[in-house]
Amino acid sequence: MGGTDPDDFLNTLGKDKKGNGNGDILVWKRKAEKYLVDSDLHYTIIHPGHLKDTDGEMNLVLDVDDKLKSRKVRSISRCDVARLCIASLSVSNGQNASFDCVNAEVPAGSQRKTAEESWKEFVVSGKEYDYSDMDHVPDFSI
């Protein structure tokens, strides 16, 4: 997460104290994602929150455009990210998706949703990552 925020800490890496020099790692990562989205390839782009080495016994929350950065808990277990990767391969039916993800407590009296259920709910929601703000970033050649 953090790709919509040019002031995110990861974008400062490689820059001097005045903000000059190389950097903008998330800006360039997002630009590369836009190339993938604009291609004819099928894709799932996952932007996990802070990765934790936990058992993954929490619910998954999926959203777009860094909306999850405002949450108190912005972390996710590595296990759950792996489960989302597998879910995107097993239940996607060619559906493209790009999303942010974090963990959330399972509400009392309810059961934890599977990664497949969370992925399907997200796709049905119709939410899509907005890559239109990348036009200000210069093109690069590969």
As to burial, measured by CB atoms within 10 angstroms (0-12 exposed, 13-18 middle, 19+ buried), residue 96 is: middle
Separation CA 4–CA 47 (nearest Å)? 12
Closest CA to 26 of 128, 137, 122: 137
pLDDT at residue 20 tops 70: yes
What CA–CA distance (Å, rounded) separates 29 from 23?
11
Q: How confident is the model at residue 69 (pLDDT cuts 50, 70, 90)?
A: confident
Query: Which residues form the domain of 68?
Result: 42-136
Would you place residue 135 in the very low, low, confident or very high pLDDT band (cuts 50, 70, 90)? low
| pLDDT, the chain, mean | 84
Please report the pLDDT score of residue 103 as a whole number.
Answer: 93
pTM of the model: 0.81
The answer to whether residue 63 sits within a structural domain is yes
Q: Does some domain include residue 110?
A: yes
- In the chain, the number of structural domains is 1
d(CA 3, CA 97): 16
pLDDT band at 137 (very low <50, low <70, confident <90, very high): low
Token pair listed for 4: 């919509």
pLDDT value, residue 136: 55
Residue 75 lies in a domain: yes
pLDDT level of residue 141 (50, 70, 90 thresholds): low
- In this prediction, residue 57 carries a pLDDT of 80
**Within-domain flag for 91:** yes
SS (H, E, C) 29-80: HHHHHHHHHHCCCCCEEEEECEEECCCCCCEEEEECCCHHHHCCCCEEEHHH
pLDDT number for residue 118: 93
CA distance 82 to 66: 20
The CATH code of the domain that includes 59 is 3.40.50.720
> Per-residue pLDDT tens for 71-114?
888 899 999 999 999 999 998 787 889 999 999 988 888 899 99
